[in-house]
């Protein structure tokens, strides 16, 4: 079967489960760029992103082979959720693993030293960072004119009048672009499984 690129995701999943490895290759070719970009945006670390990317697709293969994937028409969203969970798990493990402390310096009380104490709020900060990274990833998928207005409004905190002046458009056009940007972000969040 060399015409796999015409099949829907669910058909490719079914073919792969039934032994057609080329079907999985097509799924990988279809989504590897989007999944990798999501991971890279979330981690801001090329090497870590590459490791996690491999882990994601190993988990996808294992889940497909063990029948843990339920067909709901959103294969990419499912893969992104796996990626998000692996990123979160990696962050949590990093927080939980104690730093290597040398016992050579007997004069320092590491247990009561606030400079080496674990910040209890750090996990929540990481979750917030991942949520923001996920949102940033989705924003990059918007049309350029919608990205521009959204970033000016949210990040630069400009009024719609200021946005209109900077972009040399009407206030109504700026409002319209923002409206479409928000609607498109909601759709993308559902597609990528990033809704709360």
Query: What are the pLDDT digits (tens) for 73-118?
Result: 689 989 998 999 888 888 777 655 444 333 344 444 434 444 434 4
**Cβ 13 vs Cβ 23: under 8 Å:** yes
The answer to whether residues 31 and 25 touch, using CB atoms and an 8 Å cutoff, is no
How many other C-beta atoms are found inside a 10 Å radius of the C-beta of residue 64? 17
**What is the percentage of the chain residues whose pLDDT exceeds 70?**
74
- Residue 89's pLDDT is 83
Residue 183's pLDDT band (cuts 50, 70, 90): confident
Query: How far apart, in whole angstroms, are the C-alpha atoms of residue 186 and residue 39?
Result: 20
Q: What is the pLDDT of residue 31?
A: 92
Distance CA 2, CA 49 (A): 31
Tokens, residue 143: 């049309």
Terminus-to-terminus CA distance in the chain, angstroms?
Answer: 39
Torsion of CA 97, 43, 52, 88, to 10 degrees: 50
pTM for the model stands at 0.53
| Ramachandran class of 44: left when φ > 0, alpha when ψ lies in -120 to 50, beta otherwise | left
Domains (ranges, CATH) in the chain? 1-97+122-130 (1.10.1740.10), 141-196 (1.10.10.10)
DSSP string, 27-85: HHHHHHHHHHHHHHHHH--HHHHHHHHHHHHHHHHHHHHTT-----S-HHHHHHHHHHH
Per-residue pLDDT for 166 more than 90? yes
Mean pLDDT of 155-167: 86
3-state DSSP assignment of residue 140: helix
pLDDT digits (tens, 9 = 90+) for 109-160: 434 444 434 443 444 454 455 555 667 777 888 889 998 998 888 778 888 7
Whole-angstrom Cα distance, residue 70 to residue 72? 6
The per-residue pLDDT of the chain, averaged, comes to 76
* Residue 119, burial from CB neighbour count under 10 angstroms (0-12, 13-18, 19+): exposed
């Amino acid at each position: 079967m060399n015409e796999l690129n015409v099949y829907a995701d669910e058909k490719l999943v079914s073919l792969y489960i039934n032994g057609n490895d080329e079907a999985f290759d097509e799924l990988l070719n279809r989504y590897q760029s989007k999944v990798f970009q999501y991971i890279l945006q979330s981690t801001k670390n090329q090497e870590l992103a590459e490791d996690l990317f491999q882990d994601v697709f190993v988990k996808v293969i294992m889940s497909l082979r063990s029948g843990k994937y339920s067909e709901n028409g959103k294969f990419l969203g499912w893969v992104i959720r796996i990626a998000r969970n692996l990123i979160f798990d990696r962050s949590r493990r990093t927080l939980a693993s104690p730093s290597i402390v040398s016992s050579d310096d007997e004069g320092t009380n590491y247990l009561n030293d606030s400079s080496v104490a674990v910040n209890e709020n750090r996990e929540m900060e990481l979750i917030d960072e991942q949520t923001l990274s996920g949102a940033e990833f989705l924003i990059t998928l918007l049309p350029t004119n919608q990205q521009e207005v959204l970033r000016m409004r949210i990040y630069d905190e400009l009024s719609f009048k200021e946005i209109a002046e900077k972009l040399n458009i009407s206030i109504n056009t700026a409002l319209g672009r923002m409206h479409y940007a928000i609607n498109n972000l909601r759709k993308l969040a559902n597609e990528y499984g990033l809704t709360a």
